[in-house]
Amino acid sequence: MREQVVVEPEGGEAVDGRPGSNAVGKFFGRCIGRAVEDDGILRPGISTTEARDVPWTYNSAELFLLLVLERGWSPKRYGRWIAEALIAALTV
């Protein structure tokens, strides 16, 4: 079981108790989701809600910690992978 970090409100409080659920992560998801939808490149069959949820999930701190700290990926490799994964998941 993973430890959960408690964050004070001024530091980005977890909204629903899960890592990556803070307001910044949700804002990031809305921006990416809206951008692909507005540009007309949203993959068919993906709802607006899914287009927001996918980047929010990929942006979780736990995913970064797993790949970079535990598996030894460089931050640069992680950034490339996230970008490619988001493009593949959301766009045509």
Cβ(27)–Cβ(13) below 8 Å: no
Please tell me the pTM assigned to this model: 0.67
Burial of 47 (0-12, 13-18, 19+ CB in 10 A): exposed
Domain ranges of the chain: 17-90
Spell out the residues 6+ positions from residue 74 whose beta carbon is closer than 8 angstroms to its own.
Answer: 68
Q: What is the pLDDT along the chain (92 residues), one digit of tens a residue?
A: 344 444 444 444 444 445 445 677 778 788 888 888 888 899 999 998 898 889 888 888 899 999 999 999 999 999 999 999 999 999 98
